[in-house]
Amino acid sequence: MRVPLFRLQCGVNSYDWGKVGNDSAAAKYAATTAAPDFSIDSEKPYAELWMGTHPSLPSKDLETQRTLLDLVQDNQALMSTEVTERYGGKLPFLFKVLSIRKALSIQAHPNKKLAEKLHARDSQNYPDDNHKPEMTIAITPFEGLCGFRPLAEIAHFLNAVAPLRQLVGEDAASQFESTIKGSEDSDDPAVTQKNKEALRAAFTSLMQSSPEGIEAATKDLIAAAQDSPDSFATSASTPGTNPSNPAELAAIITRLNGQFPNDIGLFVFFFLNFVTLSPGEAMFLKADDIHAYISGDIIECMASSDNVVRAGFTPKFKDVSTLTDMLTYSYAPIEEQKLEPTDYPYAVLNVPAYSSGSSSLLYDPPIEEFSVVKTELKRVGAKATFDGLAGPSIVICTGGTGKITVGHKTEEVKEGYVYFVGATAECIIESTDEGDFTTFKAFCDLTGKEDMVNGH
């Protein structure tokens, strides 16, 4: 029988927002194991490398050229019988590398129930009946929007940014302000519910702005950002809530307008948390969480689904009423959107690994479909031995040189190489060169997760 370690050939797609040519990590990684007809075009954007069994861009076993889907359906032991049965013979997760040059659409992913409904109603725009919780780990500095800002910040911008108030409308804006006043930080469920309803009303009112209204408001917004960046979005009457760096905010707004002129996204910005992640930092998006990615290279892992409800920063199909209906309207500071990694207990480091400060860190979101381990080996001979898991794994290298061993099979690993590791197989990753050797391993192991509820 074949050792369950397969090098994968993974496709990269060319959405307009991707980084161009060799700037794109997704393209560079794809090129290391590319099909013979692929070469990087220096003019073309490359957005997403896909690692998994999703039919839109399925990964292949390099050696046999069979799809990974075909292999795992042919031999259920590769994913374990339990995972195979639970996910209908498909990999439970889709693992990706995204290289983002300009903003991706403002979006949310439906929960399971809504996904089934949308798919039944409109299978062209909603190709899957599955939910899509997703996790993002930065591999270069990342910027994005994620979740609603704390209410006091939104109230500040409604007061300090006249074109925003104009689009939301005076009635909705003052209704929002009077509802939340004094209860911005309350955690009484009844009060929070009332605040969320006020937020929903103000946000929905903004999203219903006419194209002419948006165009006029954009003109005023950009004039303010360019004419007086140092006082942009500030108010003399509420100095306590002024943005900490108005000029930086003005620059981001101007940049976004350059990418998507006269787009409602410029104003949605003031309702959402602006998040920056340093390499290694992560955030997790539950079903129905609003978000938009703005720039950077990231590792992304999600439940295997391609359902997106979009409402701005995109030429694609927008479904504003579905989006404004589905959102949870939870509001929280940025820190609460981030996901802290913890030490991964099921990888054993050898002495050279320990003494060089190497690490295996676990990013474990509260869902059953996937977790990710980041392993950084910092010296030649540093080695991490991973226990066999009760489910499948996919490993990608984002830097350095080393090797991977399962049973009697050892393969070389370089930046961009991707491997599939079957269930129950012990797997050893070792650095063979100076410099950091970095891998990300996504996996599904249902042990102890039998009772976990997906999404909500």
For the annotated catalytic residues, the residue numbers are 310
Give, in degrees to the nearest 5, the angle at Cα 98 between 244 and 70. Answer: 150
Give, in degrees to the nearest 5, the angle at Cα 401 between 412 and 281. Answer: 120
Task: Give the C-alpha separation, 456 to 448, whole Å.
Answer: 19
DSSP 3-state of 429: strand
Helix (H) / strand (E) element for 107: namely: strand 106-108
Residues near 109 by beta carbon (within 8 Å), at least 6 away in sequence? 115, 131, 132, 133, 134, 285, 287, 288, 289, 302, 305, 307, 308, 309
Tell me if 425 sits within 8 A of 406, measured CB to CB. yes
Contacts 24+ apart (CB under 8 A), 185-190: 185/150, 185/152
Strand-pair category, 437-443 with 347-349? unpaired
Helix (H) / strand (E) element for 154: namely: helix 151-160
Task: Determine the residue type at 383.
Answer: K
Task: Give the C-alpha separation, 141 to 297, whole Å.
Answer: 7
